[in-house]
Structure 1
């Protein structure tokens, strides 16, 4: 049960359209459901404003389907599943209305909500090879109710490509900069933007990139102010944080 549902119930009690006992009955859902292999947190939306998200890697298709069904049965309108592979998506899709996005390895059950954030989230990637991580971030942000603009392949190897989108950068509420190699894109964007920049290092690059460690250290050492850094390839974490920032002050 999320904050919007709680608010609606309380308003109904206040205007007399719902009795106190009826409201209590709706609130009696246990805070979590023990399924043996997982404990489903049904009150996370109430506590944090965002309902539980399923991390698909390492879970069987059957487990993903059972967890998804539980979330849906408790009123969750949109179920986000990250790092779900094709095999699991095919299985879950036969049981539930799953939309699968292969590039980002993301599954969404239910409809993507209308954007209700304060502004626009802009995602920029250094290269085309960074798009899988970017799509995880973009779809996460969209599933959490945000307008997203994608700027792909605008890395520092050709600065004119990024400069062609300065208006998008300067009008963003939050920017997610995603890059491998030396990870310079975040610093460059940080020099243009007046909003928070979330840097995502990717594991894209040749041997000395050390699986994204070089980009991670570059981003952590950025001289541009207002940049925060998430873990290597963590598109979900970036999309989630960007959504939180974009919903500050929004009821």
Structure 2
């Protein structure tokens, strides 16, 4: 029966659009999305999407829960883990030499650091506000342990003047900040990344190439202060709130005992940080 379940899961993922939905939900974990959000992100017709989500749910790869009048869908981490473990064990029974490196590098042991700092990249669409907040805060609060970077997924962007004002008011040095594209961190000369965090939903929705070196990644999505409406004071409050939320998350991240956590525990820890109360003081 177990093998039949794996066959059903692999068959379900064998369809390109069902696989795209699954990958989106993995990137947005631990968030759960409405069908409308999934449809908008992947440009799939609602009627077709309903069928795909039903197949993924029946295969145990996606969970469904109700929030108010909406149904929310998220990746079933337990079901996915069972599927991967089963495939992994079957593989190792026949060819353990193919799996030993995977076991040691991805599943066992703590994150180790020799004589360098951990490299952390924060990604947003425009690299104009939230990601530069995160880069600046981490550099200020834990620059002795981390090398902080930020980038955007758009081909071109500019730093938001309001965001720069907030950073200056908080005492950050903004002289080295500039809007960058993620391509700067994907070439052979790019720094080896240990952590990659998306801080906006749109960037997490985009299907970017896998990062070399298998950095630990998480989605720390939050509203875009650049899109805030209202008076100048209300817009300013949105930027202050975004700064405060990110500062709380980064302080929690910097306090993690990285030298004692294995990859699985560390992944769970950064996922929990994503769910921290966003009612933060700036």
Q: Please indicate, yes or no, whether the TM-score normalized by the shorter chain is above 0.5.
A: no
**Which is bigger in relative contact order (C-alpha 8 A, separation at least 6)?**
2
Higher fraction of strand: 1
Q: TM-score, normalised by structure 2?
A: 0.29
Tell me which protein shows more helix as a share of its residues: 2
